[in-house]
Every structure is written in C-alpha cells, then in structure tokens.
Amino acid sequence: MTTLLELIPGQLTLDQLRQIRRGDVRLTLHPDATVAIRRSAAVVQAAAAGDDPVYGVNTGFGKLASKRIGKDELAALQRNLIRSHCVGVGAPLAPPVVRLMLATKAASLARGFSGVREAVVQTLLDALNAGLTPYVPCQGSVGASGDLAPLSHMTLALMGEGEMLVAGQRRPAGPELERAGVQPLVLEAKEGLALINGTQTSTALALEGLLRFETVYASAIVTGALTLDAARGSDGPFDPRIHEVRGQPGQIEAAAAYRALLTGSAIRQSHRDGDDRVQDPYCLRCQPQVMGACLDQARYVRDVLLREANAVTDNPLVFADNSGATMISGGNFHAEPVALAADALACAIAEVGAIAERRIAMLIDTGVSRLPPFLTANAGLNSGFMIAHVTAAALASENKSLAHPASVDSLPTSANQEDHVSMATFGARRLGPMLDNTAHIVAIELLAAGQGIEFLRPLRSSETLEAVHALLRQHCPPMPDDHYLAPDIERAACIIHEGELATLLNKRTAMVLLD
C-alpha cells in the first residue's frame, strides 16, 4: 500500500527514510517550501543575467573556475557538466539506494539555498513517485566536491539522455520518462552543478547500510541468547546491577534484552546448581558489553546521517532574505561526516560478526560447550559443523579487512584543486558486503545453536527462544547426520534478512534499536 508523504525540507525522519527506501510512499512538496526555492532561484537568474563572474553560474568548474562563459552558453555549460561527469563504472546502485538519492537530493534543493527552480525539485519527486530508477554505476566518487559521477548519472537520466534500470536491465531513459509521464529536465544556470554537488549518494549508501544493520543486529542478539542456552551458560553476567554501575546505555539495554529472551528457560534451571564452571567465555558473558557498544555506535551513525539527509551540501550557496542576497562558495559537499560515520558503522558490523563467529567456535568445541564434538553425535563418520565454522571464520576475517577506515585515505583530484577527499562513497558502499558476511555468520550460528538445543532435549528453553527454534525448523531440518548444509545456511540467512528474528525481538523485549 502506497502512503502519501509530505516532504518538509529539513525534517526528514528515519521512519520516513525507511518508507522511501522500501518504495511504498509518494512524496509531495510542502507548499511553504516554494517561497525559499523561488527566492534563491531569482538570485541565480539575476547573476546569470549580470556581468560579474559567479562560480558555477557563468564560470567553468574546479580548476577551470577562472574561465568565463558567455550568457548564450550558460545552458550548454550545465548540460556539458552533466555529460562530462557521467564517468561511473561498476554495477548499478540498487533501487532502494537510488530512491534515497532522489529523495534526499530533492529535500536538500528544496531548502531554498541552491538557486534551482521548483521544476528541478519536482522532477526528482516525479521520477521517484513514478518508480523510475536511474542507472547509476556504483564506483567513481571520492566523496568530495560532491558525489559527482553518480549524481551526474542520476541527473542525465532525468534529462532523458542517460539510462534507467528496468527489471535489472539498462534501458534508454527518454522512453522510460515518456512512459511514466515525466517531462525530461531542461537545466538552467547553476542547476546542473546544484544537482551533482552534494553527498546524497554516500549518504544514501550509508543509510542503506544502517537500516540493514538494524535487522542483522537484532538477529544476532537473538542467536546469541540461543547459543548461551545451548551451551548451558550463565545468565548471571546479565544482572542489571553490573551494567548500571558502568552506565553505558547500549550495554544496559542489551543486557535487558538478553534477560528477557532467556526468562523461563528450563535449560538454565537445570544447571543452576552443581555446575563446576566458574565463568563463561567472553563470547557469552560479554555480549552486553560488545553488542551494547555496537548499538551506541549505530545510534551515533543514525544522528549523523539524519542530519546529512536533511542538509544543504551543494556549492555555491544562495542566502537571500528581505535585507538582500548573496552567493557564497564553501565546502559543504565534502563528505567527511558521512565517511567517519560509515567507518564507525563498519567497525560495529565487523564486531557483531566477530563475536558471533567466536560463539560458533565455542559451540563446536566440546571441551568448552560440553556438547558433542562439532555438534554431531557420531563424530568421525560425521563432520557436523566443522567446516560451517570455517566459512564463518572466513567471513569474519574478510570483514576485518573491509573494516579498515576509508576516511583516512585521500587521493588528490582535479589537478590538486580538490586536494583532500573523504572517500565516503566507498566507505558507505562497502557496508553492504560486510552486512552480507555478518548475516551469513549469524545464520550459521542460528543453525549451530539450534542443533545444540537438540542435544539438550527434553529440556526446553524459554518461550521466546523455543519460538526461534521452531521458526528455524520450519525452514531447516536438524542434522543428526551430515547432509548438504549450504542450502540450510542460505535459508537461515533469509530468516535474518527478512526480519523474522528482529520481529521476535521487538515483540518479546522492550529493546529499541534506532528509533
């Protein structure tokens, strides 16, 4: 069902961005926005008609800013800018990411500091509402002076000269615009520059990563609790007093979630007395500390990206009020805030996967878990989860490399005019593969923990964790003997990606992730 959503510039919420990402909204522009848009557009039009040099209006770009452009060539200047900057390579950005690009670019321009006409903002919204997906290659931006290449591909498609992504295939944009009833965009002074200056691609990619992280993170909380019970671990380390005296908010909330998930477990009661183990491994007892810190990190990222989704990030900017008007060149297009946020989220994603991998290793180690070796009753004839753990280890190791901060790298461009760049676009783009890796690690943990629970029957876990076990068994059978395990891993990963474990967590605990 499609919901009508009024775009109020500067007031996009995380829930609205979720809806835009899913594609189940139609956006309309709040009528109050038109006053500021028209005022700033008038300033640019006056500059275009005047004789003074104004960057991006009647000059070249970057290192070519000293080149004056004649009044009769200003529209051609903007068209040429877009055409020349369409140099992206690689696979196309996914439709959810492109939807976020279109929406956040419209929201930014609608703030009324960019000097574009209403028609520009409306074309972005019309394309979004029509379900059009400009074909945008994923590589080619260093995250400074704006996401120039990807935003140029988006803009060229709106001009009818580029391409659209239709059912996974590249199609000429012109006929797709015509079929959708969207008029091709005809650029006027400064409008091409305003469309491609900005951080909307890196922000959209980072938002995609953040919103996907919600589901993977929640799933890892659930599988961690299931593993704790399968290994007959202690719930003592989740005592609220421990976490309150430290005072870290994410840790306090994570501990409460684990307590709620484990409440009522007969497995826990069965070894409360007479267990000679003094302390569990860190992968079990330090879950609130690790997962809580990752939650705090994600909330920091949320705050940065929400600000950026509502920000004005092109250049130069137009400031006009009743006392006068001026255009000021600056550097809001530099995506360092997004780069640092993406790096922070990358570390959190890697850590969620890393501690889950350690829990799998613990489960298959009979000396620690006290379960059959490699979670198989007839070890030797059967290898059980031996190599499934190797896959988890491979993915966790890959994530370690991918988590290396992108923001500390900088390669000067544009003949050293753009001599420090953020690399935010790659920093945000690499979150997707990292989340895929972590989701598969958590999927393997779900299978391993589920198998561990089988060995403890007839004892039962908590009501919530038994529901998790039952959900797993709807999709993946137990493994008394070795069988083809890769399909089970993919089915378990689907449970995670589709949010079924996250839904259980939301229903059974008071934990709130990002809202």
**Residues 308/338, Cβ–Cβ less than 8 Å:** yes
How does DSSP classify residue 114? S
| Cβ–Cβ < 8 Å for 18, 99 | no
Please give the C-alpha separations between residue 37 and each of 33, 195, 514, in angstroms, as whole numbers.
Answer: 6, 14, 32
Q: Are 330 and 314 in contact (CB under 8 A)?
A: no
Give the burial class of 191: count Cβ atoms within 10 A of its Cβ; 0-12 exposed, 13-18 middle, 19 or more buried.
buried
As given in the structure block, the two tokens for residue 59 are 């000059």
Distances (CA, A) of 456 to 267, 270, 271, 475: 8, 10, 12, 21
Tally of helices (H runs) and strands (E runs) in the chain: 22, 8
> Any idea of the CA torsion for 338, 339, 340, 346, to the nearest 10 degrees?
100
Catalytic hit among 55, 135, 217, 258 = 55
Mode of pairing for the β-strands spanning 3-7 and 25-29:
parallel
Q: Which among 448, 451, 440, 435 has a CA at the least distance from the CA of 391? A: 440
Q: Tell me the β-bridge partners of 318.
A: 327
Beta-carbon contacts of residue 50 (< 8 Å; ≥ 6 apart): none
Please give, one letter per residue, the 3-state secondary structure of 432-446.
HHHHHHHHHHHHHHH
Torsion on CA atoms 296, 298, 304, 305, rounded to nearest 10: -160
Q: Is 55 a catalytic residue?
A: yes
- Concatenating the DSSP letter of every residue in 435-481 gives HHHHHHHHHHHHHHHHHHHHTTTT----HHHHHHHHHHHHHS---SS
Active site members: 55
